[in-house]
Amino acid sequence: MPLIRSLELSRYKSTASADNALSQLSRMSGWPDHVLSRLAISRSLQESSEPEPAASERKGKELRGETLFRSKQDSDYLPWVAAMIAQHADRQFRTDDEAVSLVLAHWHRGLELLVTDLENHGGDFPELLISLARRVTRDLDELQVREGTPNAAGRVERDQYAGPLRPITIPIGRISPESEPVSVTLNDTTRYSNSHAAVSGMSGSGKTQLIKQMLASAMRCCDESTGLVFIDFAKGDVADDHSFVDAIGGQVLHLPGDVLPVGPFHLPEYTEDSIRLASEEKREVYTQLFRTLGPKQQGRLAEAVCESYEDLRNTVEPAPDFAYVQRKLNDIYRRENLQPDSLSELLRQLNAYRLFWARHTETPPVSPLHTQRWVVDIHELGGLKEVTAFTVIEQLYREMRSLPESAIDPANGLRHIRCILVIDEAQYYLKARNRFLQGIIREGRSKGFAVMLLCQSPDDFDQDDFDYTEQLQFTYMLQSKTEPKAVQRLLGVSRDEARRLATELGRMEPLHGIGILPDCGRGKVSRFRIVPFFEL
């Protein structure tokens, strides 16, 4: 049967998460599923990397090829899609099944990307469409740059690593006392779809020892351009471990006291759209972090941020700082004859603590942020811990979005890792529905960003709004109290085995854990003794 006819007669079934994405896009746009699906495929084709295969367990919506491609109404569209997917893969389809699999993969990735894009535009679907159109122009500019021709802005350089790519091999644990440690290669794209990791365990389990060893081992393998940002939330013990800080070649920033040289309101560009979107994003993030803020306070916050940007837009430094936003908020309160409240007190504290870059300083914010090696100690910040961490994460995300995809060595599939973001006590962040953290996890794999999350329990990764369990490549569980459901989702085991493992985790000895290790059997859960930092 001819390929085009085979694609037309095939049935394309989505995963549950893709089905949720399709429903969300449909609600926000009013478009039918087949039109959104075609947009999703096109969106995926904008990415230079090949999409991951769609999960084999697909219980969502099913679209027939005739419905998806509308062959009777537009006979040219399906051949064009097939040609574009083959060109994107840089090969001819070996079989019809391979072609169908690639259509499914692009469809699923495209839906995920569109949801992220929509969130980044405040749920405004028309704005999303405008941004996609603008991206086409930007991609053409970047194509000119790759060919050595200056683009409209006169740029001829690209942020692309040109050095040799080395494997970032990290020991995890020993299956038996006599055996060599089993290792994973963090940047091996031939084996792993991303470089994100999760380590769960209660206090005293050895969780911090494992992550410190993993990071020290990783930094030994990386060149000096790879950054590391460790957000030390709980006790400041990582920041106080001088041998670890030396091992990663890091700098400790103790807050309050030190100043983070990060601009909390800096943007890649200061167009009207960017300003409006950034103002709404601040409102959304602060609303999630500070649940006592009412709708009117949220609106005043967005108004103060937006007015600050508009005031400074045509100045040498168009980004406000917390002091400027606080002044704008105070102006709004005076205009409306309002008394100080929880919002004004929050801005007062953020300004008084002098946590971030300020406009009156002569030194600009550090750039690029993703190449720094920082341990940021925020354990003494009280109620400002989360907002401080989220500000750093937001600026990392904005910087990441402006970068091209990171280099991959075609000979061995090794990817250049630009930055590793480590978040201690991540359960406090996961439940806050932070779009910037979710964005780094979703989009970071192709940009060379790795996220490592430390939690008290595997249950912490089970969040309603974002499925972290699908996004984390490396998962290691140490002693913890957990429900079988979380173990099942993270490790992909049966319900009965998940029950046994959950019981086992509650009784686990310190420095011991479970996880899926390479070369120990596909999908097989291994028990191991971790390689702690103090043994390096």
pLDDT tens digits along 158-171:
455 656 789 999 99
pLDDT bin (cut points 50, 70, 90) of residue 136 is low
Residue 220, class by beta-carbon neighbours within 10 Å (0-12 exposed, 13-18 middle, 19+ buried)?
Answer: middle
Q: The tokens of 428 are what? A: 């406090």
Residue 459, phi then psi, degrees to nearest 5: -60, -25
In sequence order, the 6+-apart residues with CB closer than 8 A to the CB of 40 are 106, 107, 109, 110, 111, 113, 114
pLDDT tens for residues 287-337? 888 888 999 999 999 999 999 999 998 898 999 999 999 999 999 999 999
| Parts of the chain belonging to CATH 1.10.1220.160 | 3-120
Right CATH number for 3-120 from 3.30.1240.10, 1.10.760.10, 1.10.1740.10, 1.10.1220.160? 1.10.1220.160
Rounded mean pLDDT of 453-474?
Answer: 84
Q: The tokens of 26 are what? A: 């449909």
Question: Using the 8-state DSSP alphabet, how is residue 321 labeled?
Answer: -
pLDDT tops 60 at residue 153: no
Are 379 and 236 in contact by the 8 Å Cβ rule? The answer is: yes
pLDDT tens for residues 370-403? 999 999 999 999 889 989 999 999 999 999 998 9
pLDDT bin (cut points 50, 70, 90) of residue 61 is confident
516 vs 189, 236, 329, 536, CA distance in Å? 17, 30, 51, 22
Nearest to 480 by CA among 185, 72, 161, 199: 199
- Distance, in Å, from the CA atom of 206 to the CA atom of 202, rounded to the nearest integer, reads 8
User: Where would I find the H helices in 336-461?
Assistant: 342-352, 385-401, 427-430, 435-447
Domain 169-262+366-535: give its CATH code: 3.40.50.300
Are 275 and 311 in contact by the 8 Å Cβ rule? The answer is: no
- Distance, in Å, from the CA atom of 346 to the CA atom of 264, rounded to the nearest integer, reads 15
- State the chain's mean pLDDT as an integer: 88
- State whether residue 38 is helix, strand or coil: helix
| Parts of the chain belonging to CATH 3.40.50.300 | 169-262+366-535
3-state secondary structure 438-476: HHHHHHHHHHCEEEEEEECCHHHHECCCCEHHHCCCEEE
In sequence order, the 6+-apart residues with CB closer than 8 A to the CB of 373 are 219, 227, 228, 229, 248, 249, 250, 251
Residue 235, class by beta-carbon neighbours within 10 Å (0-12 exposed, 13-18 middle, 19+ buried)?
Answer: middle
Are 376 and 253 in contact by the 8 Å Cβ rule? The answer is: yes
Strand spans (E) along 212-255: 227-232, 251-254
pLDDT tops 60 at residue 199: yes
Rounded mean pLDDT of 106-129?
Answer: 87
Q: In the chain, what percentage of residues exceed pLDDT 90?
A: 53
Strand spans (E) along 158-239: 169-174, 182-185, 197-200, 227-232
pTM of the predicted protein model: 0.72
pLDDT tens for residues 174-192? 999 999 999 999 999 999 9
